[in-house]
């Protein structure tokens, strides 16, 4: 254990990391700022998810952590050691998005091959293979050709290869991508077992539900920036508890709204109320959370979901509805899902980039 690691439980530490791919060739027109000052930290024993849409910079960050490419600014360290250094690298297991195992292998011969690559001796390879085949649920299938393996089985074999040298940190690139629900749940179970065995796991995904099911901590990235990072319980998620922001679903009737007056007047009233409420959003205490919808075909009304920063913001919104001559029908506390958090952050990042 290095001295800096001993003083901290931090396994991955990324600080103001930047990566600019230089353009100027006939294929690439200009510079691409793939990472624009990314900071995050993953601690020992966490299952840390990196979530973001295509082009967010996830793969670039992983490549820097593995030492495959160099950053153009900021710092990244693993176990307190510079990312990419031989010592740091020797303590990391990596499962790429599509690990290709030669088809002539069995699971056992593939592990022997990877064990030799890691310079393990034969006894250690034999012992670790037994343990890992058991761990990933391939014991009993280890002498079959991998040609007969499902994608899920191949992925579990990939996890076993990444673990051959008993790393402290496992970096997984889209570990459940392309798997059917059974395959995904099998891979998830392996990840959970590894977490229980004290490994730190850093995984990259764009499958929100998978991240929600398996991760304890999360960073949401878009366009080279970290938009939010922290425990998943604070971002909305399967295990989320109440948190500071208050999402409320409200229904209110519109002033002068009468179904007999036709759609235009209803639309006009909607717009007036929307304008009133949006002016609160502009003040920064309230954000739109879901598109407003009509209540039903008989009653002219309005239903929308808003994310309020605090109770004062809820009061403010209620005041706005009243001053627009609206009347509140329902106010329902709403637990924010991870998907809603994700969409809100990514959409506001896109809007900021456009403005």
Ligand X SMILES: Nc1ncnc2c1ncn2[C@@H]1O[C@H](COP(=O)(O)OP(=O)(O)OP(=O)(O)O)[C@@H](O)[C@H]1O
- Binding footprint of ligand X on the chain (CB under 6 A): 21, 28, 32, 34, 52, 54-60, 206
Task: Kindly report the number of other CB atoms within 10 A of residue 52's CB atom.
Answer: 26
Apex 170 CA angle, 232 and 130, nearest 5: 125
CB of 203 to ligand X, least distance (A): 12
Buried b (16+ CB within 10 A) or exposed e, 155-181: bbbbbbbbbbbebbbbbbbbbbbebee
**Residue 102 near residue 211 (C-beta atoms within 8 A):** no
CB of 34 to ligand X, least distance (A): 3
Q: Between residues 54 and 260, which has the closer beta carbon with respect to ligand X? A: 54
CB of 353 to ligand X, least distance (A): 12
Rounded CA-CA distance 339/233 in Å is 13
CB of 69 to ligand X, least distance (A): 8
Apex 35 CA angle, 207 and 209, nearest 5: 10
Q: Between residues 48 and 289, which has the closer beta carbon with respect to ligand X? A: 48
Exposed/middle/buried for residue 13 (C-beta within 10 Å: 0-12, 13-18, 19+): buried
CB of 283 to ligand X, least distance (A): 33
CA dihedral (286, 287, 290, 296) positive or negative: positive
Q: Between residues 50 and 324, which has the closer beta carbon with respect to ligand X? A: 50
Rounded CA-CA distance 117/111 in Å is 10
Q: Between residues 53 and 80, which has the closer beta carbon with respect to ligand X? A: 53
CB of 176 to ligand X, least distance (A): 14
> Tokens 């929308």 correspond to what residue?
304
Strand order from edge to edge, sheet including 286-293: 286-293, 301-308, 246-253, 327-334
> Tokens 């399967």 correspond to what residue?
238
Q: Between residues 59 and 270, which has the closer beta carbon with respect to ligand X? A: 59
H/E element, 171: strand 169-173
What is the chain's Cα-based Rg?
Answer: 25
Q: Between residues 52 and 84, which has the closer beta carbon with respect to ligand X? A: 52
CB of 36 to ligand X, least distance (A): 10
Q: Between residues 20 and 285, which has the closer beta carbon with respect to ligand X? A: 20
Helix and strand counts by DSSP (H, E) for the chain: 11, 14
CB of 175 to ligand X, least distance (A): 14
CB of 33 to ligand X, least distance (A): 8
Tokens of 237: 């998620």
Task: Kindly report the number of other CB atoms within 10 A of residue 151's CB atom.
Answer: 15
Q: Between residues 58 and 128, which has the closer beta carbon with respect to ligand X? A: 58
Q: Between residues 51 and 169, which has the closer beta carbon with respect to ligand X? A: 51
């Amino acid at each position: 254990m290095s001295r800096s690691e001993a003083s901290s439980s931090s396994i991955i530490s990324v600080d103001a990391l930047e990566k600019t791919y230089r353009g100027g060739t006939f294929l690439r027109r200009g510079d691409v700022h793939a990472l624009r000052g990314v900071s995050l930290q993953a601690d020992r024993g966490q299952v840390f998810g990196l979530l973001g849409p295509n082009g967010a910079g996830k793969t670039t960050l992983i490549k820097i952590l593995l030492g495959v490419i160099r950053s153009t600014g900021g710092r990244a360290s693993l176990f307190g050691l510079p990312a990419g250094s031989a010592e740091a690298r020797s303590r990391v297991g990596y499962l790429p998005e599509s690990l290709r195992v030669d088809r002539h292998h069995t699971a056992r011969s593939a592990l022997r091959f990877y064990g030799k690559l890691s310079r393990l001796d034969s006894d250690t390879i034999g012992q670790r293979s037994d343990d890992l085949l058991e761990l990933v649920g391939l014991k009993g299938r280890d002498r079959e050709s991998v040609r007969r393996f499902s994608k899920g089985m191949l992925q579990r074999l990939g996890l076993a290869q990444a673990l051959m040298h008993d790393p402290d940190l496992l970096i997984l690139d889209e570990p459940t991508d392309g798997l059917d629900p059974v395959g995904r749940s099998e891979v998830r179970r392996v990840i959970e077992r590894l977490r229980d065995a004290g490994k730190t796991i850093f995984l990259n995904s764009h499958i929100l539900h998978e991240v929600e099911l398996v991760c304890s901590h999360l960073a949401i990235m878009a366009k080279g920036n970290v938009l939010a990072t922290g425990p998943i319980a604070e971002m909305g998620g399967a295990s989320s508890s109440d948190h500071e922001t208050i999402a409320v679903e409200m229904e209110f009737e519109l002033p002068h709204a009468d179904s007999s007056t036709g759609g235009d007047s209803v639309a006009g009233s909607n717009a007036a109320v929307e304008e009133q409420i949006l002016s609160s959003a502009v003040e920064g205490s309230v954000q739109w959370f879901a598109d407003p919808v009509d209540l039903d075909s008989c009653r002219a009304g309005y239903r929308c979901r808003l994310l309020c920063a605090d109770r004062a913001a809820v009061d403010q919104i209620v005041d706005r509805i009243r001053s627009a001559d609206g009347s509140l029908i329902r106010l329902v506390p709403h637990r924010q899902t991870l998907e809603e958090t994700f969409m809100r952050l990514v959409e506001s990042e896109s809007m900021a980039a456009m403005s």
